[in-house]
A and B are shown apart, each in its own frame.
Chain A
């Protein structure tokens, strides 16, 4: 099918369950909160090599945050709750705790709760104290600008990872503009993130490699410089491909984000929008591009 003169491939993105946590990071100013959240989300582009995928869900209004200060919401996804817990401990401890005036709260109520603040309290070296308020315990760790407040337990729930779109077009600049517009559209959907730098990935990967012990490698079918050497998926005139990977708190949120991205990405010089899948063998969520475009009811 064509939408705004862009060919939309009759295929689906194959998404799969992931474990997710949602952190509310606050600070005295929005800038400080953003800084802390960005550091905690750093180098978490792909589960393949980073241990988790993370990104900013968006700003949190002071009315929504537990301490009434400006904040940012961070989502982290991983394959197992244990792995996610390790990543949370690392990123809160090394990213958020040292950030000036910061505090960190749980933003997801789930059946499974990880006692991260409960572990982190030992940084207080015996000077830590806690407050128990309406069933939620907050640890207060003395630091050099006052106290770092961290909630004792963080929810680890079921999310959905691996939603994706691949944009293929002519001029790199124009395709990149479309991809960036799509990434912005994903950011407008609460509960969804695009974990790659700026939300855009220039290296769609395939599992495995010709080399032993390499878990993922470049997906040559999308590389314009290899089109004469391999069986390419680039259409005639296609010189650039960018992938948008989407993780979300639920299948519906991923679907909404994909729709927002699709609508934003249909720009001049984009020739084809397709999606990556593994023939339905990897994940239970099959997000068909045509259905997403045709049936806004599913998304709204």
Chain B
């Protein structure tokens, strides 16, 4: 069953939809869906008051958000199964804490995409905001599993505090990508911003270019990266392709951040000061 929620234009007010779980929504009738309480601003209201609910039994199980979705936050929060599609720009905290299932954002996503995510797949066709796959403010550990694929650029502190999982950014990232990273893999096909890998303990950051490498990283020269091929193959199955040049030429490898444990690796195709 496909459930379509067309969000009405109620102005720039944050709508918190964390109470909507795709797996649960397919089991209840339309009238019940409309009565699900959600938070708008600081008020608790019914879903039917801010969106039009349509159900179609002919389609596969998926929850579709359409209409004015840019202020719809916490979509797929803690999601455990099912598929959620956001047909336009998404709000903040999409897929935060999700465990499994799939979220697809056809536009761009706001800040905190996949924050503290534990599993599942989030795919964004446009840009992602700041703290993509990072940790909750005040927490030490970020994303601990799953895959985030971003079609364009991501903001600052992408993958900050990341523990496990994969973040793939097809464009550039802002400052401090992979800061305090504990494990996992962060791919930036374009340019990673200033301070990339600051305080990283373990894990891998693979970037096309990097701005101002931190002094805590030491060069280990050029090296072939067998494991990158495994990632390349897996990403191909999802329709994502690593630049062929990455596979053809050995890349610069740095270890760091030596201010911390220093077991992290920064693999850069083309270093730019």
Contacts and interface: CB of A to CB of B under 8 A. Distances in A.
Interface of A: 66-69, 103, 129, 131-134, 138, 140, 145-149
A150 to B, nearest CB: 10
Which 9 A-B pairs give the minimum distances between C-beta atoms?
A67-B229, A146-B224, A149-B226, A68-B233, A67-B230, A68-B229, A66-B230, A147-B226, A131-B227
B199 to A, nearest CB: 18
B: interface residue count bin: 10 to 19
Nearest to A148: B226
Q: Which of B224, B226, B227, B231 has the most CB of A within 10 A?
A: B226
B224 A133 contact: no
B185 interface: yes
A103 B231 contact: no
A80 to B, nearest CB: 31
A138 B233 contact: no
Contacts of A131: 185, 204, 227, 230-231
B81 interface: no
Interface of chain A, helix or strand or loop or mixed?
A: strand
Nearest to A67: B229
A148 B224 CA distance: 11
A145 B223 CA distance: 9
B227 A147 contact: yes
A212 B99 CA distance: 62
Contacts of A140: 226-227
B152 interface: no
Given A103-B226, A146-B223, A146-B226, A133 B232 contact: no
B263 A133 contact: no
Contacts, number: 41
Nearest to A145: B224
A133 B230 contact: yes
Nearest to B147: A134
A139 B70 CA distance: 41
B240 interface: no
B234 interface: yes
21 contacts: A67-B226, A67-B229, A67-B230, A68-B229, A69-B229, A103-B226, A129-B202, A131-B185, A131-B204, A131-B230, A133-B166, A133-B230, A133-B231, A134-B234, A138-B227, A138-B230, A140-B227, A146-B224, A147-B225, A149-B226, A149-B230
B164 interface: yes
Interface of B: 145, 164, 166, 185, 202, 204, 223-227, 229-234, 263
A148 B227 CA distance: 9
Contacts of B202: 129
A145 B164 CA distance: 27
Contacts of B227: 131, 138, 140, 147, 149
Q: Which of A133, A138, A145 has the most CB of B within 10 A?
A: A133
Nearest to B250: A146
B175 to A, nearest CB: 26
Given A129-B263, A131-B185, A133-B166, A68 B226 contact: no
A112 to B, nearest CB: 24
Q: Which of A66, A131, A134, A149 has the most CB of B within 10 A?
A: A131
Contacts of A149: 226-227, 230
A145 B225 CA distance: 11
B234 A133 contact: yes
B227 to A, nearest CB: 6
Nearest to B247: A68
Contacts of B225: 146-147
Nearest to B226: A149
A67 B263 CA distance: 24
A216 to B, nearest CB: 42
A132 B164 contact: yes
A129 B164 CA distance: 13
Q: Which of A69, A146, A148 has the most CB of B within 10 A?
A: A146
Contacts of B204: 131
Nearest to A105: B230
Nearest to B237: A134
Contacts of B145: 132
A66 B224 CA distance: 16
Contacts of B185: 131
Given A129-B202, A132-B164, A67 B233 contact: yes
Nearest to A66: B230
Contacts of A67: 226, 229-230, 233
